């Protein structure tokens, strides 16, 4: 994923900037944090990238495709630099992975900051203006970067809150522990203060973010993740709680129990399984078997019937044969996921899997991926059709992309619903009768406000 912040003008107090986001919620949230810091300096956000005098590219190297997109964008930015002297900075995972070497491939950039150093964005721009490039990839700034609070739009009712960063798991395909560092959790008092402030200013839904939220505070003398959820559940104003991402191995009985008793915790979990073959799971260093994964999903469904389960899955991992792939397909049939983000394996620098034997030819990996995606499309459609005739609670978020006459929002199970309703229903919680289930969304009718109105 690639995120671009563009800032026009060379004097901080009247600079303009714009943000283009491509990527995961963690990166998007980091970008919002940088934007908030720059807005705090009096800079103004603009949409048109071409008008920018400073470009910050916030990067991701989780997948090869995102990295390719980054380098192709940088080619275009080099032209902008040559033509009008645009200041260009790189932040995020590619910055961290390449460190000083980034200057060999991109000698024209003016600064580069790892994800733990995004709080230094103003300093980096200041120095770039003085022609003193700042390169900072140290890990000791991670707590400061965790503490930055992004700004939210006046009418926003949803917010993300980072509770931890980094990962200690070292799945053999994943570069996160190398570029985002080891796990580091944020103090619970600070998180609770932030969420209380959000509830006080009208935010209805919070999503707690971290590479592996289930291991929040594993290494600190502070409350556990289930205890944190319990405390957030008691905060006035907050009506929905979500979290992402969860590692199946760390999904404890206590956390599963939260779905049975915390009414604000939404009925949705994103629980990547990656493969249905125990042999491949072992090669991936995932730390659970397919049977253990299935048992945890069943426990979740016992605690909260109707809970939606989504996941990530990798096809064509080194050594994967048809039998392994068949087990992945079996697991998908068995669980009946609401949705899956599926990818063909791409080797990432620094990771153990990049040098593993048994590479699956790309054509074979993509053929398997297409089969898997076809199966999942059918399952998603049938799960969405099963919603027909039911009533769903929806938090409206805006006008539908498909029709100006429709509003759009998400159910507690994180499904998109489009429905006719007055603009006064925007950013409110409504009840909607589901009349049609499609592959990617639901159609609703007869929306009614759910909230009790103050007189
Ligand atoms: S748990 Fe997630 S972030 Fe951590 S190494 Fe594994 S895939 Fe990467």
pLDDT in tens, 282-327: 999 999 999 999 999 999 999 999 999 999 999 999 999 999 999 9
Measured between alpha carbons, how far is 438 from 442 in angstroms, rounded to an integer?
A: 6
CATH class of 391-449: mainly beta
Residue 35: pLDDT band with limits 50, 70, 90: confident
Pull the structure tokens for residue 87: 């200041």
pTM confidence score: 0.88
Residue 218: pLDDT band with limits 50, 70, 90: confident
pLDDT in tens, 434-454: 999 999 999 999 999 985 443
Measured between alpha carbons, how far is 365 from 3 in angstroms, rounded to an integer?
A: 28
Q: What is the pLDDT of residue 6?
A: 44
Q: What Rg do the C-alpha atoms of the chain give, in angstroms? A: 22
CA distances from 55 to 102, 125, 129, 389, 390 (A): 16, 10, 13, 49, 47
Which percentage of the chain shows pLDDT scores above 90? 62
Q: At what angle do helices 362-385 and 322-335 cross, to 10 degrees?
A: 10
Measured between alpha carbons, how far is 237 from 78 in angstroms, rounded to an integer?
A: 47
In angstroms, what is the span from residue 170 Cα to ligand 1's centroid? 6
Residue 59: pLDDT band with limits 50, 70, 90: confident
Residue 2: pLDDT band with limits 50, 70, 90: very low
Q: What is the pLDDT of residue 15?
A: 63
Q: Please say if the pLDDT value at position 48 is more than 70.
A: no
* Mean pLDDT of all residues in 120-140: 87
Measured between alpha carbons, how far is 448 from 394 in angstroms, rounded to an integer?
A: 10
Lowest mean pLDDT, pick from 34-43, 130-139, 250-259, 271-280: 34-43
Domain coordinates in residue numbering, the chain: 2-137, 391-449
Helix (H) or strand (E) holding 417: strand 416-420
In angstroms, what is the span from residue 169 Cα to ligand 1's centroid? 6
Nearest CA to ligand 1 atom 1: 169
Measured between alpha carbons, how far is 77 from 5 in angstroms, rounded to an integer?
A: 12
Among 177, 218, 286, residue to substitute to test ligand 1 (most atoms within 8 Å of Cβ): 177
Among 25, 173, 210, 211, residue to substitute to test ligand 1 (most atoms within 8 Å of Cβ): 211
- Report the DSSP pairing between strands 339-344 and 308-315: parallel
- Report the DSSP pairing between strands 442-449 and 429-437: antiparallel
Question: Ligand 1: which residues within 6 Å by Cβ?
Answer: 167, 169-171, 174, 176-177, 211-212, 247
Q: Which CATH architecture has domain 2-137?
A: 3-Layer(aba) Sandwich (3.40)
Measured between alpha carbons, how far is 349 from 195 in angstroms, rounded to an integer?
A: 37
Q: Which residue has the higher pLDDT, 10 or 169?
A: 169
Q: CA torsion sign, 275 to 278 to 280 to 282?
A: positive
Residue 402: pLDDT band with limits 50, 70, 90: confident
């Amino acid at each position: 994923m690639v995120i671009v912040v563009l800032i026009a003008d060379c004097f901080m107090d009247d600079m303009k900037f714009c943000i283009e986001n491509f990527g995961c919620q963690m990166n998007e949230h980091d970008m919002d944090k940088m934007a908030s810091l720059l807005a705090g300096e009096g800079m103004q956000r603009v949409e048109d990238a071409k008008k920018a005098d400073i470009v910050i590219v916030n990067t991701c190297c989780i997948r090869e495709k995102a990295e390719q997109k980054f380098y192709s964008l940088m080619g275009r930015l080099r032209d902008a630099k040559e033509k009008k002297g645009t200041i260009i900075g790189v932040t995020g995972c590619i910055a961290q992975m390449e460190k000083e070497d980034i200057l060999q491939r991109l000698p024209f950039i003016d600064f580069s900051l790892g994800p733990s150093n995004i709080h230094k964005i103003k300093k980096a721009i200041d120095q770039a203006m003085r022609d003193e490039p700042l390169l900072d990839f140290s890990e000791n700034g991670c707590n400061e970067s965790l503490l930055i609070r992004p700004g939210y739009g006046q009418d926003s009712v949803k917010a993300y809150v980072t509770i931890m960063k980094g990962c200690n798991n070292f799945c053999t395909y994943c570069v996160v522990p190398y570029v985002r560092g080891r796990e580091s959790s944020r103090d619970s008092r600070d998180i609770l203060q932030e969420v209380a402030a959000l509830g006080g200013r009208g935010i209805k839904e919070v999503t707690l973010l971290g590479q592996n939220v289930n291991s929040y505070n594993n290494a600190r003398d502070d409350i556990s993740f289930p205890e944190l959820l319990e405390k957030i559940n008691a905060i006035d104003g907050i009506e929905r709680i979500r979290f992402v991402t969860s590692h199946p191995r760390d999904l404890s009985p206590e956390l599963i129990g939260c779905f049975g008793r915390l009414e604000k915790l939404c009925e949705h979990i994103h629980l990547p399984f990656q493969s249905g073959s125990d042999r491949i799971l072992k090669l991936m260093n995932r730390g659970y078997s397919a049977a253990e994964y299935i048992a945890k999903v069943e426990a979740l469904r016992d605690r909260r019937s109707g809970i939606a389960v989504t996941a990530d899955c990798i096809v064509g991992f080194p050594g994967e044969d048809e039998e392994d792939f068949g087990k992945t397909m079996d697991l998908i049939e068995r669980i009946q996921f609401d949705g899956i983000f599926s990818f063909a394996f791409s080797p990432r620098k620094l990771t153990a899997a990049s040098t593993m034997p048994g590479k699956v030819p790309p054509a074979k990996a993509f053929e398997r991926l297409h089969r898997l995606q076809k199966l999942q499309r059918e399952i998603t459609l049938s799960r969405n059709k099963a919603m027909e005739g039911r009533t769903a609670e929806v938090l409206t978020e805006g006008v539908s992309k498909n029709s100006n006459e429709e509003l759009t929002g998400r159910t507690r199970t994180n499904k998109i619903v489009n429905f006719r309703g007055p603009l006064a229903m925007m950013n409110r919680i409504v009840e909607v009768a589901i009349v049609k289930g499609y592959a990617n969304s639901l159609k609703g009718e007869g929306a009614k406000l759910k909230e009790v109105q103050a007189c």
